[in-house]
Structure 1
Amino acid sequence: MKNKIVLNCIKRMALLGIIGFTIQIHAEVLVILPETGPMSRAGLSIKQGILSAYQVGNNNIPLKFVNSEQKSLKLILKQNVNRKTQMIIGPLARPDVEALIKLKPKVPVLALNEVYPTHKNVWQYSLSKNDDALALLDYIHHDRVSKLYVVREKGAEAESINFLNALFLNYRGEVDPVDEMPSVKGKSEGILLLGSNEWLSSLKKLQKKNIYTQAIAVNEKTALPKGMKFCDVPALYIAEWGDVIQAYKDKPTSLPYQRLYAFGGDAWHIAEHFVLNPKVKNLTFKGRTGKIKIEGNRVERIPQCFERSKNNLVAL
């Protein structure tokens, strides 16, 4: 009787192994990205990030890449979605995401941008400036700053408009936009500097506490002023994700596109998880682009914040 029970257990384990192997063999992930046209550099960077993360994994789930440029989403889905398609990553452009949602896809989709319309089968994941702003605001509140002066680089205001809008919508204190560097009084006041790295470097006699900026001011060649805080994709500063490092070694590029390597890596991690665990709807993990939390169809990304010390960056 005991031997029979053991034998049945072995059979069940073998069957589960076969089922898992069958899922990997028959599952296919369709990736829809622009590989030509004006968004091709962004699309190809995300693709590189997906492939780098894919290569370090152990699950040989087939990937199928399709160029979204100059093709309708309806035609792409008609020509490429079949019984093996278990997940779709993409598209990237906002109009394409909106078009895909209108098609009411039956296959789960991880869209790589955020739009207002939603659908039960579509997760929306992005490197939103709003996420960066919210993460930084948490630290501004933590520093007990109740009045925040905002100084923007003249001629570059468009670069920070989304970040600034998120600030106005979510900051609990007083916001005071000013044209010149203010004279800060007391520990309850801070300064948010929105502009390029070159502009920050040109500013004289900056205070050492309660100064903040956004990630676009980070430059690989010139360090930020001491004491400055910002929030960004952690994989650019913490050597924990070898696939992002390898992607950069294979194709060196600037910081904006390195962020997309990390973005592609996390997109693959999410898709792989849901293909292998289709009944599991929630997911939380420490990702390349920040802490990722998925509940239902909502993808929340919390970037990592850093402070410039005397010699390096310190993770907060």
Structure 2
Amino acid sequence: MRSSIFVKKGLICIAILSSLLLVGCHSSLDQSKPTADATIQASSEISHYQSIIDAANGTPSAEALRAYIAQEPLLKDKVNHQKNIDDFWQMLISLPAEQVQKLAVRADENVLQGWIDLLDLYHNNYQDPAALQNAFNDWKIRYPANPGVKTSPTALIQIIHQSSISNNPKIGLFLPLSNNGKIFAEAILQGFLDAQKGLPIDPTTATSSSEQNSPNSDPVQSIIDSITSSSNNVTQENNPQTPSLVIDNAPINNQQVKVYDTNTQSIESLLQQAEQDGITLVVGPLLKPDVLKAIQINTPLNLLTLNELDNDKMPLKNNVCYFSLSPEDEAVNAARHMAKEGKQVPLILIPSSPFGERIANIFAQEWQKLKQTPVRKQSFGNIDSLKARTAQSTGIQMIGTPIVIAEQQNTNDTAEAIDAVYIVATSDELSLIKPMIDIATDSRTRPTLYASSRSHQTDLSTDYYLEMEGLQFSEIPLLAGANSTLLTQANQRLSADYSLIRLYAMGIDAWLLANHFNQLQQHDIELNGATGKLSVNSNNCVIFRTLPWLKFKQGKVQLI
């Protein structure tokens, strides 16, 4: 009997246990199925909303904004969620005011209404980080459920934390101060530090040469002293004096600038070190490969790079602006200047190289926007080939191949005579090219000649100035006579090497721009720099330089 009871009890326990296991398995299967289905559905919805965002291609629209908002709660990955918020905010602040006013917010769109209210606070306070901070705090109280409370836009937080950048920036300067690029980096560093101390405005405020080159306990200045041991008294006979041009003075800041040599460590290591050093703004790097590395690193630091990349390699990043001595800027300047002077049929003379082709295409693209007519191009070889052509006395005929660009509306070449020639050449090349144009053209119908700053160098003879009669060229304000005292200082420091002086001017403007970084990010700036009139005309925060134009006349140079 007892054994039978035990058997029965055992069978009952096994049955109960089996039931529990079956229930558990069944329950597990029932729970996993909707979880998997939910994941698939969420993934599908994310892709759907992303397709709407991608179709907008960065162009602000109500549909894309709503897609961002709908996608946001579905993104569980922290990085993707932050990217959603950042991209949404960037599109929202790019939305023209009239479109914001027309954006009808439905009664159930509390999230969108919250963002629009924040946008209004942002536009009213972005130039005052402290006021923006207070407004943002009040906004978070009014919209506690808005996703921007928990995950705030990176660009907004950076501006709120930038009061130190506006008033007293802690700057790290990334330059290749050893090996490759050393001589160029030193010229930029010299201009940067001179601007930090304050630029001379007139002869009565200029610092004497002995004071400029006196020993300094600052280790950064020691770097500079090594390249300024010799000074030249350069004649200013042919340098233009044009008081109508000015160079803005940037705020004087006695805080030490920390310099990092980009040839000694990786860019990633240097950015980490700069962050540990309390740097708030990095100026640099200078070399393109280093710039590419810097923008690919997800650093919280603001970057004012000293070079730019191709458009497809410059992502829209709220903490990055690009500044360079871009020859493309000069090509755009040339097209605008020639169009303003009423020219209709331009020819561009370029060196036979990828550089020449790039400049020709940039010029043609800008000309298409201005005149909707084709540009012709003609290339030339090296100095030896130019000398051979000179010996043949054939001259340079006013003919060329039309440049075809993708967005060109009018592809019909014109039969009209060339009335303007833009020459991209060095001074040695130009001294051969201009006479060959003169030989091949009639003085009564000769086109107006224009040249880039590549042709304007130091130690040009009076004969050269006379030979260039009538030719116009673009030049940076410092070398165009905007501040004669500053130019004298630059000549003394850099032995009147125009190539290095242009980089010295770049250093001056880098300091000027660093002290206006907030405005740069908002594309709300126009400064009179040493390298040109500086503005931002790109969503990628690329600095554009508008250059003055000068003309050779009777052996001298005058501002146009």
Compute the TM-score of the two structures, normalised by the length of structure 2.
0.48
Contact 2:165 2:281 in 1 (8 A): no
2:302 to 104, 108, 115: 108
Superposed CA deviations along residues 161-218 of structure 1, whole A, max 9, x for unmatched, are 4322312322233322346522599886222233222232232563565111111111
User: 1:246 and 1:38, CA in 2 relative to 1: closer, same or farther beyond 3 A?
Assistant: same
Aligned position for 1:257: 500
- Taking the aligned partners of 1:190 and 1:88, their CA distance within structure 2 comes to 42
User: 1:104 and 1:22, CA in 2 relative to 1: closer, same or farther beyond 3 A?
Assistant: closer
Contact 1:30 1:81 in 2 (8 A): no
- Taking the aligned partners of 1:113 and 1:279, their CA distance within structure 2 comes to 17
Aligned position for 1:200: 430
Aligned position for 1:28: 170
Give the partner amino acid of 1:136: A
- Taking the aligned partners of 1:26 and 1:225, their CA distance within structure 2 comes to 47
- Taking the aligned partners of 2:520 and 2:397, their CA distance within structure 1 comes to 54
Equivalent pairs, count: 293
- Taking the aligned partners of 1:24 and 1:199, their CA distance within structure 2 comes to 45
Larger helix percent: 2
Runs of 4+ residues deviating >4 angstroms: 21-27, 156-159, 183-188, 241-244, 277-281
Gaps of 5+ in 1: 1-20
Q: Which has the larger radius of gyration?
A: 2
Superposed CA deviations along residues 127-148 of structure 1, whole A, max 9, x for unmatched, are 1111101111112112322222
User: 1:54 and 1:241, CA in 2 relative to 1: closer, same or farther beyond 3 A?
Assistant: farther
2:358 to 156, 162, 171: 162
Give the partner amino acid of 2:481: I
Give the partner amino acid of 1:151: L
Paired-residue identity, %: 20
Aligned position for 1:174: 374
User: 1:112 and 1:257, CA in 2 relative to 1: closer, same or farther beyond 3 A?
Assistant: same
User: 1:31 and 1:205, CA in 2 relative to 1: closer, same or farther beyond 3 A?
Assistant: closer
Contact 1:33 1:67 in 2 (8 A): yes
User: 1:241 and 1:101, CA in 2 relative to 1: closer, same or farther beyond 3 A?
Assistant: farther
Give the partner amino acid of 1:38: N
- 1:87 matched to 2:281? The reply is yes
Aligned position for 1:287: 529
Contact 2:494 2:500 in 1 (8 A): no
CA RMSD after TM alignment: 3.1
- Taking the aligned partners of 2:523 and 2:347, their CA distance within structure 1 comes to 42
- Taking the aligned partners of 1:216 and 1:162, their CA distance within structure 2 comes to 15
Larger RCO (CA within 8 A; separation ≥ 6): 1
Alignment of 1:30-109 (within 5 A): 30-56=172-198, 58-82=252-276, 84-109=278-303
SS at 2:180 equivalent: coil
User: 1:280 and 1:182, CA in 2 relative to 1: closer, same or farther beyond 3 A?
Assistant: closer
2:450 to 191, 212, 218: 212
Larger strand percent: 1
SS at 1:100 equivalent: helix
SS at 1:144 equivalent: coil
Aligned position for 2:483: 240
Contact 1:140 1:210 in 2 (8 A): no
SS at 2:550 equivalent: strand
Give 1:90 shift.
0.3
Structure 1 range deviating more: 71-80 or 185-194: 185-194
